Chain A
Amino acid sequence: MRPPKRLRRRVKSAVLLGLCATAVLITLLPLASILLECFVNGAGAITPAFFLQNPPPPCNPGPTTPCPVGGIQDALLGTLLLVVVASLIALPVGILGGIYLSEFQDRPLARPARFLADVMTGIPSIVIGVFVFGIFLFFAEQGWISSFSITSGYTGAVALAVIMIPVVARTCEEALRLVPVSIREASLALGIPRHRTILRIVLSAARGGVITGALLAVARAGGETAPLLLTAGFTTGAITGLSGWTPSLPVLIYYSAAGGYANTTQLAWGAALMLVLIMLLISVGARLALRNKFGGRTA
């Protein structure tokens, strides 16, 4: 009775392991398709005008009517502004938070702060959007800001910052923890005060990891759509600073994709190609920053 059982076990093993390999292929398929479609449908939209124009009125090309594809100029600018302002808020807070989690980990706040930061990273971004909208709504109800300022670039930047802060804090913490205790001790033994030890020695030793974390957070913020939909709004017109409705690349893709008009659809694909390329670039950059992180250099 043993031999058939043995054969069955071998076959079962081979089949299940084969299924695991197939699962990897199935996982890679959508990624390949997404990249391919972005190139095929979007590459044609990317001309110099693509960077110098704004979205056109939707239309389908007729025999006589011209139907321009337009461009992403102000949306790209808007995304840039939003991300920069969000980073100005989130990076200092996040890195200081990460320092607390790593360097003051025996203090009572460290454990709850770490746990809640983890929980925050799992909160849907649209809920963050609702949250930040709620904050500015409250400000408006108190009369501190005009109710026209609720939907503005500043609100959007705050929403992105809220998304970024826990990500930056946790990745910064992880990076700092990789720095051996002996380096801190060596520095402190030289009489270098603690804040300088952390800022000059530990942070610099861990800079690869910290930069990676910051880049990943920037990438995540730059690709967000839902919270901006609720906070920054959108306009196909020119950007007027962050105090008004602020267009962004992801929201442009969302609005341009709707309706199925030839020109805006192509614009959406072009913008998607741009966005994906930027994301891939950042993600490759993050990997490179990690490569020469602490360990390769200092140790």
Chain B
Amino acid sequence: MAEPPVGTGTDPLPATGPAEPAGATPSPSQGPDRRRSFTGVVDRFFGGLSTLAALVLIALPALLIVIITQASWRAIVRFGPGFVIGQFWVPSASPTSPITFGAAPFVAGTLETSVIAMLIGVPLSIGAAIFLAELAPDWLRAPVASVVDLLAAVPSVVFGLWGLYVLVPYMRSNVDPALVHYLGWTPLFASHAGSQSGVSVLTASIILAIMILPTISSVSREALRATPDSQREAALSLGATRWEATRLGPLAYARSGIFGAAILGLGRAMGETMAVTMTIGNSDNFATSLFDPGQTLSSKIAINFGNALPLEKSALIELGLILMGLSLLVNVAARLMLRSMTRMGGSAP
């Protein structure tokens, strides 16, 4: 906040400070002047260099949009806005169908998996954040928090491997049958023929829920920790129980921060690729039941990109364009939420 009151790159400070006595310079009319201008040039050069780096930071997102649009232009021109609602992905013409590409099943898959992941992951991560920020004794807090954060350091392909060889069999033999038994009468949990393999929209969503836990819980934890003690005491002094004091104090105070954290998690869930690709079953059809295999925007790109011909590649890049649009929307929203939190933190008592 407090920028040091120093010269900028275009306004270099005199190179001759108190460190250099005036008499020490043999030719006072030339020496300091030359050094000053040399320092000025270096300072300006350095300032320019870091400005260039800042420009890179600004240019990258802009370039991202331009390049991805440009690379998907073929598909955009060919299929128009119908691409977004198109339901079929036919990369080579057959007697029954011409070449056609549509994003709808993948958009649906992305939304479906990330919404379910949020439903599972958000309560868990907020609960964990409350425990770590408000309830845990000091000696427990730091170690457990860093272990939770370690979860974020596990590469997503390792989550995928674990999902494929540990979670999928577990879902197939334990969770899915139980859910079918109790909830099979609802369309969401309907059991179709061949939908009992364990690879499914539900399995991918559960993996996603696990993967967004550290993101949401660590950002929420920070938001909760930022609540002044006076808020907790205000609630306690009215006779609140510990839970009520947490709800009235930190949870209310940090709510925009927690909301921002959840949206960051949503962004991560929507874009996650490998773990989903390895557990969702990769079917281009709409998943009507959670036990059906499905496909998300990112998993479709990952699966098909390597062997795609130019037109299909362009269509896959257009899927990337849609995914980018969705995640830009979500991320800008999250950042604005988190920013409003800092503002409230500054003005509230």
Contacts and interface: CB of A to CB of B under 8 A. Distances in A.
Judge A-B direct contact (beta carbons within 8 Å).
yes
A269 B306 CA distance: 24
B8 interface: yes
A128 B4 CA distance: 37
Interface string A102-115: 01111101101111
Contacts of A199: 46
Contacts of B135: 17, 20-21
Contacts of B20: 191
Given A123-B324, A130-B68, A138-B67, A225 B128 contact: no
B71 A253 contact: no
Contacts of B253: none
A127 B161 contact: no
A88 interface: no
Contacts of B334: 122
B42 A97 contact: no
B188 interface: no
Contact of A97 (B3, B47, B50, B125): B50
Contact of A126 (B7, B147, B302): B302
Contact of B327 (A13, A14, A122): A122
Interface stretch (A60-68, A235-243, A279-287, A291-299): A279-287
Contacts of B302: 126, 226, 229-230
Interface in A27-66: 27-28, 30-31, 33-34, 37-38, 41
A260 to B, nearest CB: 9
Contacts of A251: 157
A185 B4 contact: yes
Given A23-B131, A24-B128, A122-B331, A184 B6 contact: yes
Interface string B12-30: 1111111110000000000
Interface string B292-324: 000000100110011000000000110010011
A281 to B, nearest CB: 10
From B213, B268, B320, name the one whose CB has the most chain A CB atoms within 10 angstroms: B320
B57 A116 contact: yes
Contacts of A233: 306
B244 interface: yes
B175 interface: no
A160 interface: no
B155 interface: yes
Nearest to A222: B155
B9 interface: yes
A86 B3 CA distance: 32
Interface string B70-91: 1100000000000000000000
Chain B, interface residues (CB within 8 Å), range: 35 or more
A95 B54 CA distance: 10
Nearest to B123: A23
Interface string B115-155: 00000000111111011100110000000101110110111
A257 B19 CA distance: 65
A117 interface: yes
A251 to B, nearest CB: 8
Interface in B95-121: none
A280 B54 CA distance: 31
B124 A27 contact: yes
A268 B298 contact: no
B300 to A, nearest CB: 10
B55 interface: yes
B123 A279 contact: no
A134 B67 contact: yes
Contact of A195 (B42, B147, B164): B42
15 contacts: A23-B126, A33-B162, A107-B8, A117-B57, A127-B271, A127-B324, A128-B64, A135-B63, A185-B6, A193-B39, A193-B43, A194-B7, A194-B47, A233-B306, A254-B157
Interface of A: 9-10, 12-14, 16-17, 19-24, 26-28, 30-31, 33-34, 37-38, 41, 92-97, 99-101, 103-107, 109-110, 112-120, 122-128, 130-131, 133-135, 137-138, 162, 165-166, 169, 181, 184-185, 188-195, 197-199, 219, 222-226, 229-230, 233, 250-251, 253-254, 257, 265, 268-269, 272, 275-276, 279-280, 282-283, 287
